[in-house]
Structure 1
Amino acid sequence: MTNEENNQQIEPVSSVMKVFAILNAMAEHKSVGVTELSQTVMTSKSTVYRFLQTMKMLGFVSQEGDDDRYSLTLKLFEVSSKALEHVDLVSLTEPYMASIAEQTKEALHLGIRDGDGIIYIYKVDAQYNLRMQSRIGGRNPLYSTAIGKVLLAERPESYIRDVFKDTQFVPSTEKTHRTIDALLEELQQVKVQGYGVDNEEQEEGLRCIGSPIYDRLGNVIAGLSLSFPTLRYTPEKFEKYVSLLQEATSKISEKLGHTK
Structure 2
Amino acid sequence: MTASSGGYRERNSTADRTLTVLGMFSDNRLHISAADVADALDCARSTAYRYLQTLVSTSFLEEAPHGGFRLGIRVMELARLARRSFSLTEVALPVMRALADELGETVLLTRLVDSAVICIERCEGANQLIRLSYERGSRLPINAGASALVLLAWLRESQARELLAREPLQSFTESTLVDVDSLMNRLSEIRANSVSVSVAEVDPDVIGIAAPVFGGNGAVVAALSVVTMRRRVPPKRLDDLVSAIAAASSTLSNQIVVRDG
Using structure 1 for the length normalisation, give the TM-score.
Answer: 0.70
Per-residue deviation, residues 9-64 of structure 1 (Å, max 9, x unmatched) = 5445566798596xxxxxxxxxxxxxxxxxxx546xxxxxxxxxx98xx9xxxxxx
Residue equivalent to 1:166? 166
Task: State how far apart, in whole Å, the 1-side matches of 2:132 and 2:23 are.
Answer: 50
Larger displacement relative to structure 2 (123-132 or 145-154)? 123-132
Per-residue deviation, residues 189-236 of structure 1 (Å, max 9, x unmatched) = 100111112211011110000111111101101111001111111222
Whether the 8 Å CA contact 1:84–1:257 is kept in 2: the answer is no
Task: State how far apart, in whole Å, the 1-side matches of 2:66 and 2:191 are.
Answer: 47
Task: State how far apart, in whole Å, the 1-side matches of 2:149 and 2:170 are.
Answer: 16
Residue equivalent to 1:184? 184
Residue equivalent to 1:144? 144
Task: State how far apart, in whole Å, the 1-side matches of 2:153 and 2:179 are.
Answer: 16
Partner SS state of residue 161, structure 2: helix
Per-residue deviation, residues 112-131 of structure 1 (Å, max 9, x unmatched) = 11233311111123654543
Partner SS state of residue 122, structure 1: strand
Aligned length: 211
Residue equivalent to 2:110? 111
Residue equivalent to 2:122? 123
Whether the 8 Å CA contact 2:105–2:130 is kept in 1: the answer is no
> Gaps (5+ residues) in structure 2?
1-11, 26-31, 34-55
Residue equivalent to 1:156? 156
Residue equivalent to 1:87? 86
Amino acid in the other structure paired with 2:150: V
Task: State how far apart, in whole Å, the 1-side matches of 2:91 and 2:231 are.
Answer: 32
Asked if 1:218 corresponds to 2:218, the answer is yes
Matches within 5 A, 1:1-260: 5=17, 8-11=21-24, 19=62, 41-42=65-66, 83-125=82-124, 127-257=127-257
Task: State how far apart, in whole Å, the 2-side matches of 1:178 and 1:19 are.
Answer: 61
Task: State how far apart, in whole Å, the 2-side matches of 1:180 and 1:193 are.
Answer: 20
Task: State how far apart, in whole Å, the 2-side matches of 1:241 and 1:123 are.
Answer: 17
Amino acid in the other structure paired with 1:86: S
Amino acid in the other structure paired with 2:109: L
> Residues 243, 80 of structure 1: CA spacing in aligned structure 2 closer, same or farther, 3 A cutoff?
same
Offset of residue 133 of structure 1? 2.6
After superposition, the CA RMSD in angstroms is: 3.3
> Residues 154, 11 of structure 1: CA spacing in aligned structure 2 closer, same or farther, 3 A cutoff?
closer
Amino acid in the other structure paired with 2:186: E
Amino acid in the other structure paired with 2:176: T
Offset of residue 80 of structure 1? 6.9
Rg comparison, structure with higher value: 2
Amino acid in the other structure paired with 2:168: Q
Whether the 8 Å CA contact 2:107–2:122 is kept in 1: the answer is yes
Amino acid in the other structure paired with 2:164: F
Offset of residue 162 of structure 1? 1.3
Whether the 8 Å CA contact 2:200–2:207 is kept in 1: the answer is yes
Per-residue deviation, residues 73-127 of structure 1 (Å, max 9, x unmatched) = xxx8x98765543221112111111111112111111111123331111112365
Task: State how far apart, in whole Å, the 1-side matches of 2:87 and 2:160 are.
Answer: 27
Larger displacement relative to structure 2 (184-193 or 239-248)? 239-248
Task: State how far apart, in whole Å, the 2-side matches of 1:103 and 1:202 are.
Answer: 25
Residue equivalent to 2:36? none
